[in-house]
Amino acid sequence: MKFKICGLLCLLLTVALLFAPKREAQTSPTLLAIIHANVIDGAGNQPLRDATVLVRNGKIESIVAGSVNVPAGATVIDLKGKWMLPGFVDAHTHISDFRSARAALASGTTTARNMGIPHFVDVGMRDLNRAGHADLPEILSAGYHVRPQLVEYFFLDFPKLHDLMVGVKGDASVRRVVRAMVERGVDVIKVNVTERAGLPDTDPRKRTFSDEEIVAIVDEARKANLFVAAHAHGDEGAAAAVKAGVRSIEHGTYLSDATLALMKEKGTYFVPTIATMDDLLHPGGDYDNALLAIRGRHMLPRLHEATEKAIKLGIRVIAGTDTGYSPNSDRRMADETFELVARGLSPMEAIKASTILVAECLGINNRVGAIKPGFEADLIAIERDPLKDIANLQDILLVVNNGKVIVNRLSW
């Protein structure tokens, strides 16, 4: 009888648990209140002093100046007059593993447009972030570069395209490569319209695709509602890409006045990646090669010149590191933002060029890149005013990603 009674009680308990209200419905929403913050919101032209930012369930609920009543149950972080900004949106990365992704996040990059790594691992990281893994930044993937000679490991992912191992040439071939990227769920198409600068055996001025091939790439991407980013150092290739309707020019070392004027006319974004070009000149970092150092000594002044002209013309110049955030990488978004100020942007303009304007280029400026109600709570905090010295961005004390505190060095 004793065992029957226990069995009956267990059955009743199991039924009660099955039909009980879900635990999530009984608990309060996740609340985070960041108080006494000087806020640069990425949208306006003036900071909001001594503000409270309320975050609920990963989204920004409100930004209010002065003292407010913090809701009961909220986790409170007191910035004590320190400075809060949107998380960086890096326009050009090559993040290839979890360690590098987390290093990017720790440096304040909460969103990144990844511009080429093997085997679509960044698509997986993107999906993990969107599934709630806030220890990873959101990553928008370009998959593989579209270029005349595809890397061999491309064909491990696409063995059915083995006939392209001899080269990608002609309208039909480039369209096949773009469609392969689309099928794997990429967020942007990257095309190399000139050769690379970071390899000693390539010529960064040399054009790769014809006008017709570039037009076909852009057209095929447009069918999938994807933007195209064009790697272009040489002016001839860059001009053809702008005419074809690419969304952005990456690097742009040798851009002519005529091509810059065309970019202004068409609204093409410019991602000069100055910090990584500077990296060519110095030992360590992503590059360490005597021939590249010689090349960099010539290319860097030309890139400075192109960027300064673009800024004067009012072209939307945005920040990208062109780094993988690997253990050898020593360039961060703070470095690129500093470079843009050196080339003529004001500190406030450079901050926007590292946040909301990048989000605009990526087509996600309705949810990231600014501290606004309804936006994702991707936030960073620093000790001192970056409008007085943009180098203050180098010391990130707080990182909040999707409303979750990832880095908190405020009490150290």
Q: What is the 8-class DSSP label of residue 119?
A: G
Provide the pLDDT for residue 278: 79
Nearest residue to 394 (alpha-carbon basis) of 108, 10, 66, 148 = 108
Helix (H) or strand (E) holding 72: none
Provide the pLDDT for residue 412: 65
Residue 246 has pLDDT above 50, yes or no: yes
To the nearest 10 degrees (0 to 180), the angle between helices 171-183 and 211-223 is: 30
Average model confidence (pLDDT) across the chain: 91
Provide the pLDDT for residue 25: 31
Rg (CA), the chain: 24
What is the number of alpha carbons within 13 Å of residue 379 lying toward its C-beta?
33
Token pair in block for residue 404: 């979750």
Residue spans per domain, the chain: 87-370
Dist CA 38 CA 78 (whole Å):
11
Q: pTM score, two decimals?
A: 0.90
**Which tens digits make up the pLDDT trace of 75-93?**
999 999 999 999 999 999 9
Provide the pLDDT for residue 1: 37
Average of per-residue pLDDT across 229-239? 97
**Residues 6+ away with beta carbon under 8 Å from 312:** 344
- Top CATH class, 87-370: alpha beta
Residue 20 has pLDDT above 60, yes or no: no
**Which tens digits make up the pLDDT trace of 92-109?**
999 999 999 999 999 999
**Which tens digits make up the pLDDT trace of 287-340?**
677 777 777 788 899 999 999 999 999 999 999 999 999 998 888 999 999 999
* SS3 category, 90: strand
Provide the pLDDT for residue 12: 36
**Which tens digits make up the pLDDT trace of 126-180?**
999 999 999 999 999 999 999 999 999 999 999 999 999 999 999 999 999 999 9
Residue 15 has pLDDT above 50, yes or no: no
Residue 6 has pLDDT above 50, yes or no: no
Provide the pLDDT for residue 26: 32
Provide the pLDDT for residue 357: 98
Between 3 and 412, residue with greater pLDDT: 412
Residue 380 has pLDDT above 90, yes or no: yes
Dist CA 186 CA 143 (whole Å):
6
Provide the pLDDT for residue 29: 59
Compute φ and ψ for 168, nearest 5 degrees.
-105, 110
Provide the pLDDT for residue 2: 35
Provide the pLDDT for residue 13: 32
Average of per-residue pLDDT across 277-287? 74
Average of per-residue pLDDT across 266-274? 97
Provide the pLDDT for residue 19: 37
